[in-house]
Structures are given as structure tokens and as C-alpha cells.
Structure 1
């Protein structure tokens, strides 16, 4: 990997700072951001960040949160998000990684792996798409975040956020700037993947480890919302819903 001690300074290049100067004022106009336990985000070195996902604006707001904590955000995001107004052009301009609907998982994992090898942060939405859960709780997860953390032996950091749906509702492409909203985020401790490290990566192993990640994300979101999530995790296939996220 690259020199972890100097990597964060090199991450924030002039191009990134210019983009931040253009985008962040709009984000601050739309909302106030409160970040809990931000010190748990690694200040240097590679890691995988796994947030919850319930609106198409999430990549921009999550990216801002990571930037504010001193790192440069790089995403694996559903390819269709790259076509969303405002969000899509930003993702393309900053070298983010689209996950194609069919057959793109392996290529996306390899591309993200190169970022990991350079000691950079990679953000993966483990749900693979916007949650289908009616009340926006995390649904069943996919294996991309866990597979990357296991294959490249890097920390997997859970994160939850809440309030972005007031700026852009789920499935909407319209942004509401006024009145100013409040967005809260919380960073968790690295998920303990010890039970699954050093073992052959099978489908069963990935399912188990991914559920452990979803449990942590849900627990963090419960803290933000002050509510208890449903006991049974939402499974889109069990409700006749089509899942488009492949990673």
C-alpha cells in the first residue's frame, strides 16, 4: 500500500478542493450536519465504509461527511445513480466506480481494490440500492463490502445517517433547499470480521458476515432515530420487489 502517513494530505488534491468549494456551499445551504463519533473514521490508510442507503442524494451528503472528517470519498455506486441530475456529474468528475446491473461486480471489485492498494477510502452501500423497507430501515445486504474487506484485509467501518430524505425523498430527483434541514450521521467501530477472516470465501460465509454488518448499521441508525427497527429484516424478494443492485 501507499505511505499511509502522508496519504490523507495527497488525497485532497487541488481538483478535489476546487470541487469541494463548488459543492459544499450548496450542501450547507440545504442542511446542518451533525457527525457523531467522527474520530472512529481512520485518519489514514485504506478502509471500506458501509453506510445505509435510502435516497439518491446519499452519495453527495455521505461524501461531504467523509471529506469533513479529513478523507476523500470514493464510491462503488449503482450505475443508474450516475444518471441522476447533480449527483451523476459529480460522481463522474471525481472518478467514482459504477456498478453495472449485469456482470459488473467482478470488475467493480477489482477497480475498488486498486484504490484500497493505494491506501484510500472506498464507500460501498451494502444494500446495493435504495432500501425497499417502507420506513427506510436497512434491508437485506449484499456481499460487496464484506468481500472487499476480507479479500484486501482492511477495516470495514459501519455508518448510519438520517435526514437526507428531507432534502431529496426516496426515488425523487427533486432537491428541497428551503427550509434548511438537519442531517445526522454516526460512525461505528470497525465490524469484527475475525470469525470469517482466513477462511475460504463461500456464499454462506459472505451471507453471515454481511448480516453482521447490517446489524451494526441498523443499530447505529436506531441511535440516530431514537426508534427500534423491525425485528425481521426486509427482504425485497419476499415481497415481490425487484432488486437492481448487483454488488
Structure 2
């Protein structure tokens, strides 16, 4: 026996209610005179808090209301609705599909929605089958007002997948189930691997009580969202963290509007200080969208800080392993329409390298661009080292009288030529440099104190080696 993966439809696989889409398709086909009074309100309430007993009672009565309607005409409506429904599929659902297929599991749509309405969508998405409510059909091909099998909801859904599993030699103990709804508790409890997706208020409590994992298929794997309100931890933080949280620094942001408001992109910035993360986070907050940060493993391995970084969508990079896993995670995020942020220099330059006018970077950003075709948005940051020099363990939070100014400039999105990783990396770093003040491109000899400020406390290495210590191939 093998396992399978069962996916609920509304508010799990789809971003909202499929009923709205089917209603519009019914109207276009002339099978309905238009939305019933209060329909929009009901769908809005469903999208917000999930299934309700009154709502499901109405759905249960739909079988009687369909009596005499042509099953073929309904199937045609379902075909017409497919493209619109596919647009509602959560961006990271495909990641879950691929994982289950690679593990040899069949993927099955399990929904209360009538079979004739959802089967074309299941086929379009590559599902192996659909377990759904079936209406009885008379000899003329019309619905006869009865159910052909269980009403696939709550305990009825459990009965339906149990029957399907038995018929297809599938072991539920080795299976997975995904749902948002408290009423799908019987199905989730019956499989060996229950997964709660975008939980409704009661399912939040159920998942906590039963220690069921919770995911959100609209964001990268591992990103935490606040239940019910549906905000990422990062999005919530953005609403509270402003420049006023840093009274020891002034900020000047330029051309924030060059960051796309949605869709995939790669945000790249130079690296001068530990304070760069704060400045870049403020920029991203001003842009009004979350980002997935690629960061050194040391950040993610740190107690508390590492857990927060992961929950906010950070992608852990362990350069010592040479693994492509961070890039694969970034590619998946970009494929899901997200923004990925990274600093191609990899770390803060030290010693004389800190004052080198020509920025050099690793090849990760160029590789991402080659793999995804996503536009690159260059960001230049200047003055962060005055707030928090490399030689200090903490920023100078007491400097509120003569505050240093942090400049953050955004360049026009660009696409790399694809000629070579080296050439494209140079193009990226040149675009970043163009957002920095003119003084950054002037070669000069730093003072001893300026050099000391570029080294971490206790540094005992060779300053001259800093020119060549970082390879560009990773």
C-alpha cells in the first residue's frame, strides 16, 4: 500500500471561495439570473472566517435546487471557470504537489463542492483524482435532486476519503491531508500526517491542542503568519517599526517607488555595517511588501534571533557546505511571486577593502537572475557604518544630538545579459555603486582610525589579505 495527499479546496488550495467564481460562470452560461441577495456578504464572511453551519446547510440544499438541471451544462460551466480558478491557486501549492509526487504519493482534491464543478480544475492542476459531492443523474442526463454517495463534508468527507483509499489501495496512516477548516478535523485526524493551512479561528485552537503543523501556501515554506488576521510576522513588524525607532540616526530614502509593489524581484544591496539590515528593513517596509532575506548561518544559529529570522522568511546560507539549497529556496520564493533580498558582497569588507571604490560581489544574485529571469533592483546604502561601525559590538544609541545620516537609494530595475556569471555580477555591483554618493567612487588612503573601525573587536588577521579573501564563484 502507498500513501496519498488530500487537499481541501476553498481557503486551502485556493485563496478564497470558489463559489464566487462558479456563480459568475453560471450567470454567463444563462443557468442563473445573477447573484442571490446576500451572496457577496456570505462569500466575504467565508473568506474571512471559513465554513459555518448555516453556510453548509445552504450548500447541502443545493442538491435539491439543482434538480432538473443538465449535468452537461454544469460541466461546461466548470470548464469555463477553470482559468479563473487557477488564478486563485495559492502560489506555493505547486511546491507541495511536487514534493508528494516525488515521494510517490498520489494527490487528491477532497472538497464539498460538487464533483462536476471541480473535476475540470483537478485535471488542470494535475490531480490524480477528486473526492467530492456527487449529485444523482437521471436517464435524461439531468440532476435528479438526490445525492450519489455522501455529502462530502466533515464526517462525510472522512467517509468519502476512506472509501477512496480502500478502492485505491492507499494507507491513510501513510497519507497527508491539508485543510483550513475545523469541520475537516475528522479527515485530518484519520491520516498519519495532518497539515493545517490558513486555519479558521476554531482550527487554530484545534491545531494547537493536537500539535498539528500549520503552513500557509501563499508564502514560502517556514514563514509564519498570524492566525485569523493572516499577516506575516514581518508584515506585522513593518507596521510598527519606523525611523522613529532609531532616534540615533537620520534617514534619507530615494526612489522607493522603483521597488515593484508585487511580483517576483531580486533586491540587492551593498554591505557596510551591521546596521545595514535595519536600514534595508525600513526600505522594504516603505515599499509595503515583505521580502525573503538570504543571510549567513550565524544569524539563524543564534538563539531567539535565529528563530525570529526564520519565522520572518529568512533563508539560511551556510557557505562552507557549498550547497545549492539556499538558492533553491530562493528560486521557489521568486517563482511564488515573492521578493528576495541579499547582499552580494556576502560580508562587510574589512581593512583597505572597505575603501575600495569598485564593489565586488559573489555570484549568487546573478545565478538567481539566470535561473528565474526576475528583475534585479539595486540598492545603495551609505552612512550605516557611522551608526554602527564594524569595530563596535553595539550601535551608538546615545548619539541623538549629532546623528549620522543614512542614505538609501534605489535604482531602476535591471535585467542581466546572461552572458556570464562574472560579467553579470559586475553589472549588478556597478548598478549598486551608481546609487551611492560620488565620494564612494573616489580612491583615497584611509586613516589608521578609519581602518581600525572596519575590523571586528579582537581581529588579528592580515589587513592586506582582505583584498583577496572572498572568492566570487559562490
Normalising by the residue count of structure 1, what TM-score does the alignment of the two structures yield?
A: 0.77
Q: Give 2:361's aligned residue.
A: 141
Secondary structure at the residue paired with 1:74? strand
Select 1:175's aligned residue among 383, 390, 395: 395
* Greater mean deviation of Cα atoms: 74-83 or 205-214: 74-83
Q: Give 2:271's aligned residue.
A: 53
Instruction: Provide the alpha-carbon RMSD of the alignment.
Output: 3.4
Residues 300 and 310, structure 2, Cα contact 8 Å, conserved in 1: yes
* Greater mean deviation of Cα atoms: 57-66 or 41-50: 57-66
Secondary structure at the residue paired with 2:435? helix
* Greater mean deviation of Cα atoms: 82-91 or 101-110: 82-91
How far off its partner does 1:136 sit? 6.9
The total of aligned residue pairs comes to 228
How far off its partner does 1:24 sit? 3.8
**RCO higher in structure (CA 8 A, sep ≥6):** 1
User: CA, structure 1 residues 90+183, in 2 after alignment: closer, same or farther (shift >3 Å)?
Assistant: farther
Residues 243 and 282, structure 2, Cα contact 8 Å, conserved in 1: no
CA distance in 2, matches of 1:98, 1:68: 24
Residues 85 and 173, structure 1, Cα contact 8 Å, conserved in 2: no
For structure 1, the 5+ residue unaligned runs are: 200-204, 232-236
Secondary structure at the residue paired with 1:134? helix
How far off its partner does 1:94 sit? 1.1
User: CA, structure 1 residues 23+93, in 2 after alignment: closer, same or farther (shift >3 Å)?
Assistant: farther
Secondary structure at the residue paired with 1:220? coil
How far off its partner does 1:13 sit? 1.5
Q: Which deviations, in whole Å up to 9, do the C-alpha atoms of 1:120-166 show, x marking residues without a partner? A: 11001111111232337563211101110121010011110112112
Residues 348 and 354, structure 2, Cα contact 8 Å, conserved in 1: no
* Greater mean deviation of Cα atoms: 94-103 or 146-155: 94-103
1:240 and 2:465 matched? yes
Secondary structure at the residue paired with 2:237? helix
Q: Give 2:231's aligned residue.
A: 13
Q: Give 2:441's aligned residue.
A: 228
Structure with the greater alpha carbon radius of gyration:
2
1:211 and 2:426 matched? yes
* Greater mean deviation of Cα atoms: 77-86 or 170-179: 77-86
How far off its partner does 1:88 sit? 5.0
For structure 2, the 5+ residue unaligned runs are: 1-85, 92-217, 220-229, 445-461
User: CA, structure 1 residues 82+167, in 2 after alignment: closer, same or farther (shift >3 Å)?
Assistant: farther
CA distance in 2, matches of 1:55, 1:69: 22
User: CA, structure 1 residues 14+206, in 2 after alignment: closer, same or farther (shift >3 Å)?
Assistant: closer
Select 2:373's aligned residue among 137, 146, 153: 153
Q: Give 2:291's aligned residue.
A: 73
CA distance in 2, matches of 1:185, 1:96: 21
User: CA, structure 1 residues 238+30, in 2 after alignment: closer, same or farther (shift >3 Å)?
Assistant: closer
Q: Which deviations, in whole Å up to 9, do the C-alpha atoms of 1:148-195 show, x marking residues without a partner? A: 0121010011110112112211253312122243211110012341x3
Secondary structure at the residue paired with 2:434? helix
Q: How does 1:15-164 map to 2 (within 5 A)?
A: 15-21=233-239, 23-24=241-242, 27-82=245-300, 88=306, 90-132=308-350, 133-135=353-355, 137=357, 139-164=359-384
How far off its partner does 1:110 sit? 0.5
User: CA, structure 1 residues 207+25, in 2 after alignment: closer, same or farther (shift >3 Å)?
Assistant: closer
Q: Give 1:202's aligned residue.
A: none
CA distance in 2, matches of 1:3, 1:76: 28
* Greater mean deviation of Cα atoms: 16-25 or 66-75: 16-25
